[in-house]
Structure 1
């Protein structure tokens, strides 16, 4: 395992921490800016399945820890990696940091994975910000790899 490499994406979202945290644990909100289906709310000890219908892709997400309005720790992907979502209250809103780590790839495969994770989680945060702050569904995930 390549434990020294991690990806970090971050964004200030100008909404209360409770609203931003809820957007990540409650699929009724998350589906407005990220995946299209989920089998449930993120709760510690639970495994849910996220689906991106436009790509025919699913992923099981193991929820390791949830500290309300502070932290969500998960494992998901193929191969599985750790993905942590940190929430920090700020004067102007909520600062969200997504960290991905525990990569097993090496060399060029690791570089591609780091690039894909960085871009992917940045896109998620951009979509979340637009949706929560302005009520706009940018469809960033679906438009990232449009069908011909």
Structure 2
């Protein structure tokens, strides 16, 4: 059995606009990959860099509906090979014009390390949805100055998500 989670949130914007806020690197860098940005748009079969250092493989993109990504679960340690987790984002239009965004990440190996990383990424994806909502609905970047390293003028180091 592998570890995983599912989160979701409602954004009061049409699915096409919410989807574009994820695939468009300029928009994504405005509320999520704020330190180091996103190197390019999400295109199936391509690889982009988030936060200036995290490689993200784009497996599938269905316009305005679904994105599937893969990235390293954790750095290899103790002679164990690295492995990737799978992230699936869905964008479901709601009758009143909003969008329900769901994010599923799965594939961590059982054990303390996998459990710890899955919790950290669950926190990160939840923050991403909150930041996207504030950015799209109100034009606010919640991550600006959020990390301690930004407050002290140190080089920025964020968690993977």
Shorter-chain TM-score range:
0.7 to 0.9
CA contact (8 A) 1:45 1:64 kept: yes
Structure holding more strand per residue: 1
- Alignment partner, residue 35 of structure 1: 33
CA contact (8 A) 2:32 2:131 kept: yes
- Alignment partner, residue 61 of structure 1: 56
5 Å-filtered alignment, 1:102-113, equals 102-104=107-109, 106-113=110-117
5 Å-filtered alignment, 1:116-135, equals 116-135=120-139
Q: What secondary structure does 2:64 align onto?
A: coil
Q: Following the alignment from structure 2 to structure 1, what is the Cα–Cα distance between the partners of residues 91 and 106?
A: 18
Q: Which runs of 5+ in 2 are unaligned?
A: 75-83, 153-161
Q: Which is higher, the Rg of structure 1 or of structure 2? A: 2
CA contact (8 A) 1:7 1:117 kept: no
- Alignment partner, residue 55 of structure 1: none
Tell me how far 1:78 sits from its aligned partner.
Answer: 3.8
5 Å-filtered alignment, 1:1-148, equals 2-3=1-2, 5-36=3-34, 37-51=37-51, 58-79=53-74, 80-92=84-96, 93-104=98-109, 106-139=110-143, 143=146, 145-147=147-149
CA contact (8 A) 1:73 1:85 kept: yes
Q: Which runs of 5+ in 1 are unaligned?
A: 53-57
Alignment length, in residue pairs? Answer: 138
Q: Following the alignment from structure 2 to structure 1, what is the Cα–Cα distance between the partners of residues 67 and 73?
A: 19
Q: Please, what is the CA RMSD of the aligned residues?
A: 1.6
TM norm structure 2? 0.79
**Deviating 4+ runs (over 4 angstroms):** none
CA contact (8 A) 1:46 1:63 kept: yes
Tell me how far 1:39 sits from its aligned partner.
Answer: 1.8
CA contact (8 A) 2:108 2:115 kept: no
